[in-house]
Amino acid sequence: MEADAFAVADQVAGRLHEALASGRTLGLATGRTMEPVYRVFVARLRALPPQERQRLISSWSSFNLDEYVGLGDGDACSFAQFMALQLGEPLDLPQGCLRLPDGRAVDPEAEAIRYAQQLRAAGGIGLQLLGLGRNGHVGFNEPPCRPEACCRCLTLSASTRQQNAAAFGGDPQAVPARAITLGLAEILAAETVLLVVTGAEKAEILRRSLQEAPCPEVPASWLQHHRGLQVIADQSAASALCLS
């Protein structure tokens, strides 16, 4: 891992550790940006004395942002499997700790409603971890998207399927066409939102998200209204920002 990427991962892992230690519900994300974060986070927890580590794990509460429709726990490309490999197995988390929408549900729309209700019953999200899509999506909230959009099933854009094709053998047509995602309403209701962005290819969309007027065409731009927004970006991703 490059020094800049490690610094980002270390900062984010530290925030996750603090949130877990304080008993806050974690809102988790998937994707390549999160892989080094979770590796460092796992290493932090494994370095703790066994009794302290077990205390944290026993109080674990997390909800993931999204899941592909049609994929579930046993599918290698599902987000459920990603989370199992990144956190569930390395930390030996009890079954059911890592909560995600059920991508195999017969009625995805009804599943989105059930998942939103489950999140509300748990008291909402304490710390929401977010990546940033190249078209400005967060979670799978594709443009155009307004801030009141709730948890729902939606159709993924061609650009998002292209961006996620690496996990499907490089074929964007193999990426499921639909997904269940928490909406901007649930994301903006989190106590703290941690937006993590790495790589030069995200520089322009990060600038638009943070430094242009919020609009439906850049869903991440609505995060500007969140008082608890924190942004952690590497030098490449931050290169287009006006910091004067």
Query: What are the residue numbers of the active site?
Result: 66, 135, 137, 142
**Tokens 């499997």 appear where?**
81
Cα→Cα distances 212→129, 215, 216, 241, Å: 22, 9, 12, 11
- Burial class from Cβ neighbours inside 10 Å (0-12, 13-18, 19+) for residue 34 reads buried
CA distance 210 to 78: 30
Q: What are phi and psi of 33, to 5 degrees?
A: -60, -30
- Burial class from Cβ neighbours inside 10 Å (0-12, 13-18, 19+) for residue 83 reads buried
Is 12 within 8 Å of 232 (Cβ atoms)? yes
Tokens of 62: 């997390």
- Burial class from Cβ neighbours inside 10 Å (0-12, 13-18, 19+) for residue 206 reads buried
What single string gives the DSSP state of each residue in 110-173?
HHHHHHHHHHHHTT--SEEEE---TTS-STT-PSS--TT--SEEEEPPHHHHHHTGGGGTT-GG
**One-letter identity of residue 152:** R
